[in-house]
Amino acid sequence: MPKAIQASTTSRRAMLAGLVTLSMTGAVQASGRSDARLISLCNEFTAIRHQLRQPFDLRPGDADYEAAISGQDDLCEREGEILEEIGELSSITLAGLKAKAQVIQIYLPDHIADSEVETEQPEVQVVFSLLQDIATFATEARA
């Protein structure tokens, strides 16, 4: 293919790709869709995970021990429900993508360790790296 035609085709493709991106962005904005629910769930998940990581100072036989254990069980159950709901939602904004990536970054290492998979394995490290790239990209793209 002659260089002039090749350059023209390349420019045309770049322009069309840009138009598709703009139209998709416009379609999301025009539809009024947002990731508000997804981000809210991700924030709730993070808050629950923070609570579950707090030191547990009560001992069996302490007055509030049973209530505290029940509260922890409730938090764990809610955390599972949130993860299911997050998994059912698609992120449609960079903020939603970042929030979902951060939830996975919080949850996945512990889950992998509980499953007795080595987190140092290359395939696991690739997943962690991808999640970090997504979170970083979403942060930088919003700036």
pLDDT in tens, 62-111: 888 898 899 999 999 999 999 999 999 999 999 999 999 999 999 998 88
- Of residues 127 and 79, more confidence is placed in 79
- Of residues 88 and 123, more confidence is placed in 88
Report the half-sphere exposure of 122 (CA within 13 A, side-chain side). 0
Give pTM, 2 decimals: 0.68
Query: Degrees (nearest 5) of the Cα angle 34, 131, 88?
Result: 45
Inform me whether the pLDDT recorded for 40 exceeds 60: yes
pLDDT at 42: 96
- DSSP state at residue 1: -
Percent of the chain past pLDDT 70, that is, above it, reads 76
Looking at residues 21-36, what average pLDDT do you find? Answer: 55
Residue 58 and residue 64 in contact, taking contact as beta carbons nearer than 8 Å: yes
Q: How confident is the model at residue 20 (pLDDT cuts 50, 70, 90)?
A: very low
Residue 75 and residue 48 in contact, taking contact as beta carbons nearer than 8 Å: yes
Tell me the C-alpha distance between 64 and 69, whole Å: 9
